[in-house]
Amino acid sequence: MSTEAFDAVDIIRTKRDRGALSDAQIDWTIDAYTRGAIADEQMSALNMAILLNGMSRAEIARWTHAMIASGERMDFSSLRTPGGAVMATADKHSTGGVGDKITLPLAPLVAAFGVAVPQLSGRGLGHTGGTLDKLESIPGWRAGLSNEQMLDQLQGTGAVICAAGSGLAPADKKLYALRDVTGTVEAIPLIASSIMSKKIAEGTGALVLDVKVGSGAFMKDEASARELAETMVALGTDAGVKTVALMTNMRTPLGLTAGNAIEVEESVEVLAGGGPADVVELTVRLAEEMLAAAGVHDADPAAALADGRAMDVWNAMIAAQGGDPHAALPVAKESEVLYAPADGVVAELDALQVGIAAWRLGAGRARKEDVVQAGAGVRMHAKPGDVVRRGQPLMTLLTDTPEKFGRAVEALEGAAVIVPEGDRPDQRLIIDRIA
């Protein structure tokens, strides 16, 4: 019978009593939980103690390191520029929101400047959409790639958006599932280590974080979002990854669509030089940050959207993963329009309520195994700051299953606030930059 180096109960007590865990204790905890030597109920107790009492920067860094050590690390050093030099790599991570389709135009836009973008993405759960769900509405597109296929695609097209393999930080998958059912998802040390363990293991040279703030975001207030952003930037910096964070507004959905196929459609509009101003603004700003972090200065991402360079990379990226970038996207079978109740200016459009409505229409899932509808979602015809007239369409709800309209409409009760003309709301998109 093997003897364990530590006792789980002693480690729980240490953190319960606001003590600091040693490097050896942290390494053992992650390894022992991954292999089943620590029971779920014991790790649940430790997670709750961390939620309540926090962790030091040194503890979070070691916890993240131990999560990385539980699996493989990717290596992009074989990627070469046409001149034979090692190709720079950059990635972006968003903490999630409503209508957040930024990854879709961003990856090919950055790749258009010769920086490889290995974007490992996930699926949606609840009111926040998943990048892979959106892309899977494109006929033929596939999310699953081997590491070798990823490298080949990056060398050939410069960009890839795909599912993370099971070998990256496997401890995180087990820990996240436990946090999800024990009320400890909100622990900032655990959020930061969950995100950063995967991103550091991914092996990118530069990372830009989009930390959302507001009703539709994971972090509802600026103080919490700032703490999370600062913690993640510190973790990336300590690991030798050039890391920057932008805090961005998620009180209002991004763009004019929340769904899957309709968000792909909007992303293609951005790549064609059009699209909603807020999506364009954030895409360009994040591209500037990624390029600068990768050592590419004086680039003009807006010009690459206007002249078609980014669209060329998008077409090649989608085709490389089996998709047809020119195929018609799925369209919902049923629609229902909601109208403005009064004249005035839209002062608020609550992101959380729009996200819940899209989810209820079939665009999202309540459980990981649920199937999403490609065409379902919400089209918004007016955003905060827009003037509307009574009876003007505010939103169009889309679904294949019309019995879902009732609960979606309930979710949108009071979501749009219309005030007398002249009362224009502050719609600052980028709140702060943390580096």
Choosing from 70, 94, 137, 194, the catalytic residue is 194
93 is catalytic: yes
220 is catalytic: no
Helix (H) or strand (E) holding 245: strand 242-249
Give strand ranges (E) for 67-140.
90-94, 117-121
Eight-class DSSP state of 427: -
179 is catalytic: yes
137 is catalytic: no
Instruction: Tell me how far CA of residue 117 lies from CA of 21, 139, 141, 163, 203, in angstroms.
Output: 36, 23, 18, 14, 11
Choosing from 15, 65, 179, 242, the catalytic residue is 179
Choosing from 133, 172, 210, 350, the catalytic residue is 172
Counting DSSP H helices and E strands in the chain, the numbers are 16, 13
Instruction: Tell me how far CA of residue 200 lies from CA of 27, 90, 142, 364, 407, in angstroms.
Output: 17, 11, 24, 28, 41
Choosing from 198, 285, 360, 383, the catalytic residue is 198
172 is catalytic: yes
Choosing from 93, 123, 285, 309, the catalytic residue is 93
Per the listing, tokens 């199937």 go with: 371
CB 249 within 8 A of CB 226: no
Phi, psi of 209 (to 5 degrees): -105, 130
Question: How many CB atoms within 10 Å of residue 75?
Answer: 10
Active site residues per annotation: 93, 172, 179, 194, 198
